A and B are shown apart, each in its own frame.
Chain A
């Protein structure tokens, strides 16, 4: 049972455009939703994260939108740059109640930003 579904699998955007990646989750106990960025040959690195008590979080060109009732969250990359070309993973975890902060990941989105 896949608890976090991510789409699209791949995305091609022109420089300066907006990249949008979507995720949906099933477990309503999840209370932490991070996005990780991974470049080829490297480990994933935290990009931005949100908790369900807010509907949006922005850090520079990166914004998470969160819809608790729909159990969906998305990553928006404004003014996309070729350097943003990477694989992006959404994830979710339940931080409290002895779950030990285990992350459940989506399958990833390969973003290519053309110059």
Chain B
């Protein structure tokens, strides 16, 4: 699992509140990714990072922002949570020069 932890693992919040999810890795991988998983949609890329302070948008980035100030941490922020952002969020990492992405255990987010 490439030493990936996600926190919190479960969170319930209310519509309109900001939420930050954290991904921490211990393998010094260059690339980090945030995906969301929803029934019938598979996994969809939200944002990704190709280095410290280097980030870019994925397929479903609206309503989300990210930051990466250290190699080991990648933060996903929902600026003002909506019910449509209820989902399971996965972080993944990848070393440079190899293809394999390793996934974390996921964060289950419920927005009421």
Contact = CB atoms under 8 A, between A and B. Distances in A.
Interface of A: 6, 32, 34, 36, 41-46, 49, 89, 91, 93, 95, 100-108
Given A100-B50, A102-B48, A44 B90 contact: yes
Interface stretch (B13-21, B66-74, B75-83, B98-106): B98-106
Given A42-B105, A100-B31, A102-B48, A95 B99 contact: yes
Contacts of A44: 43, 90, 103
Q: Which of B1, B33, B43, B58 has the most CB of A within 10 A?
A: B43
B42 A43 contact: no
B27 interface: no
Interface of B: 1, 4, 31, 33, 40-45, 48, 50, 56, 58-59, 90, 92, 94, 99-106
A103 B59 CA distance: 10
What is the interface of chain B mostly: helix, strand, loop, or mixed? strand
A18 B94 CA distance: 32
Nearest to A93: B99
A49 B106 CA distance: 22
Contacts of A45: 1, 102-103
Contact of A34 (B4, B90, B99, B104): B99
A41 B9 CA distance: 11
Contacts of B105: 42-43
A34 B59 CA distance: 19
A32 B97 CA distance: 13
A2 to B, nearest CB: 9
Contacts of A41: 106
A34 B1 contact: no
Nearest to A100: B50
A114 B4 CA distance: 33
B42 A100 contact: no
